[in-house]
Amino acid sequence: MKLLVKGGRVVDPASGRDAVGDVFIADGKIAAAPGTPDRTLDAKGLVVAPGLVDLAARLREPGYEHKATLESEMDAAVAGGVTSLACPPDTDPPLDEPGLVDMLRRRAKALSRARVYPVGALTVKLAGRQLTEMAELAEAGCAAFSQGNAAVEDTQVLWRALQYAATFGLPVWLRPEDAWLARGGVAHDGEVATRLGLAGIPAFAETIALAAIFELVRATGARVHLCRISSAAGVALLRRAKHDGLPITCDVGIHHVHLSDMDLGYFDAQCRLEPPLRSQRDREALAAGLADGTIDCAVSDHAPVDEDAKHLPFAEAEPGATGLELLLPLTLKWGMERKLTLAQTLARISSAPARILGAASGRLEPGAPGDLVLFDPQASWRVTPEALKSQGKNSPFLGMELAGRVRATVVAGQVVYEA
């Protein structure tokens, strides 16, 4: 199968290339010399970019099929232009055994849509006590190890987990949050939570955890990626640590770049997220940190939640927002607001996360995986339950118009989505 994508505005964030041209894919990979194509996609007026790479997308299988299924969420991924995604281990049972990982990979492969990179559980049942068989899990295909949103309360276990992962050179992805300080909290501990009478999670729940992780990275040499940073103080700590040469990377949830606790309004459960939306000052620091490279990449933090679980008083509602189909438009919106080039903007959701994942995708040079997204950056669409392929219709952006429509998605030279 040879595919020619013709006449689009080709944007390659890895090389900075941004020019009208063609992209040719042969044998599932980007090819240099054009041959005779089996199929041609007309990309006139569209941006042609590497397929998006999302480091946090919950597919809800196994265990939570009432919220979403692999089929529905893989459809959502390609409809959102996401061609590679890492799924956190917070399924039921969690991804703590090689058999589960193997099954997930097989099921995903059989659907032949986006590439799925399972993230294995760092501890058995995510309970934070016993280490998983990380080496085995890595052989089964785990790209990294994490706790999802569960904590490792016992810092000795965290220390040992990082030592063990470092032994095998395995990456560990951690969400920095002190479990004790966050206990019971549902909103940023500030004026809004005080006014609404919601239990708060202070920003120092994040900075204290960050400080602990930084020390453990220094002690163990583990490769740590930080997930979902949420506070201005956290960004400042991260900037200093990177300046000191600590080998860490970091992502931010795309919702947190646009929303703050003010958006909770009158208890809007769609804005119940983990970590919580913080103040406008925090949001500004996250948007700026993502622009200046302190934060390496943005993720959808896709969490499909069924309607009943959101139709509850704020504190009882299940946290999370659907995100796979919003990642591109929300990142484009952020890039416009920060006055970045399209290549710079797209780097945060393609080349940068691909590098963290250790995947060859996220760029358009010959030999790279033939994964593409074709989108119209001007075309706007309204976020409605009907417009979303994801089974999760839970979004703070419901009813809003967003610019950036995916017209086609290509994985390994196969057109897996067209609109």
**Smallest distance, another protein to C-beta of residue 210, A:** 20
Q: Would you count residue 305 as binding another protein (CB under 8 A)?
A: no
> What does R_g of the chain's alpha carbons equal in angstroms?
20
| Residue 195 interacts with another protein (CB under 8 A): yes or no | yes
Please provide residue 156's backbone torsions phi and psi, each rounded to the nearest 5 degrees. -65, -40
Count of residues that interact with another protein, criterion CB under 8 A: 25
CB of 185 to another protein, least distance (A): 11
Least Cβ distance, residue 211 to another protein (angstroms): 21
3-class DSSP state of 313: coil
Distance CA 353, CA 404 (A): 20
Instruction: Give the Cα separation of 363 and 370 in Å (integer).
Output: 9
Is residue 20 a contact residue for another protein (CB under 8 A)? no
Name which of 128 and 200 has its Cβ closer to another protein: 200
User: Toward another protein, which CB reaches closer, 181 or 324?
Assistant: 181
Minimum CB distance to another protein smaller for 193 or for 330: 193
* CA angle centred on 328, ends 29 and 72, rounded to 5°: 80
Helix (H), strand (E) at residue 138:
helix 134-140
Minimum distance from residue 273 beta carbon to another protein (Å) = 16
Query: Does 262 engage in binding with another protein (CB under 8 A)?
Result: yes
Among 168, 266, 339, 386, binds another protein (CB under 8 A): 266
Q: Identify whether 93 is preceded by a cis peptide bond (ω within 30 of 0).
A: yes
| Using rule CB under 8 A, residue 335 touches another protein | no
> Per this entry, what is the length of the chain?
419
Residue 265 makes contact with another protein by CB under 8 A: yes
The encoded tokens of residue 12 equal 């390659």
Among 27, 38, 65, 191, binds another protein (CB under 8 A): 191
Among 247, 293, 313, 358, binds another protein (CB under 8 A): 313
Q: Which is nearer to another protein, 218 or 382 (CB)?
A: 382
Residue keyed to tokens 């770049």:
257
Candidates 13, 81, 98, 200: give the one binding another protein (CB under 8 A).
200
- Sorted by sequence, the CB contacts under 8 Å of residue 271 that are 6+ apart come out as 259, 261, 263, 264, 265, 277, 396
CA 184 to mean position of chain CA atoms: 25
Instruction: Report if residue 293 touches another protein, rule: CB under 8 A.
Output: no
> Which residue's CB is nearer to another protein, number 154 or number 263?
263
301 has catalytic annotation = yes
Which 171-190 residues touch another protein, going by CB under 8 A?
189-190
Q: Which is nearer to another protein, 165 or 198 (CB)?
A: 198
Stretch that binds another protein, among 19-27, 74-82, 196-204, 238-246 (CB under 8 A): 196-204
Kindly state the smallest distance separating residue 277's Cβ from another protein, in Å.
13
For residue 196, state whether it binds another protein (rule: CB under 8 A): yes
Close Cβ partners of 325 (under 8 Å, ≥ 6 residues apart):
76, 79, 80, 387, 388, 389, 390
Question: Considering the complex, what minimum distance in angstroms separates the CB of residue 253 from another protein?
Answer: 21
Between the alpha carbon of residue 328 and those of residues 72, 82, 213, 278, 299, the distances in Å are 18, 9, 30, 22, 10
Report the C-alpha gap between 404 and 329 in whole angstroms: 5
The one among 214, 314, 397, 417 contacting another protein by CB under 8 A: 314
Q: Is 307 in the site for another protein (CB under 8 A)?
A: no
Catalytic one of 96, 189, 301, 371: 301
Alpha helix (H) residue ranges in 142-248: 155-167, 179-182, 191-196, 204-220, 232-243
Told to check if 380 binds another protein by CB under 8 A, we report no
CB 257 within 8 A of CB 287: yes
C-alpha distances out from residue 111 to 84, 102, 191, 239, 387, Å: 13, 14, 47, 40, 22
Catalytic residues: 301
Q: Which residues bind another protein (CB under 8 A)?
A: 189-191, 193-200, 202, 262-263, 265-267, 269, 308, 311-316
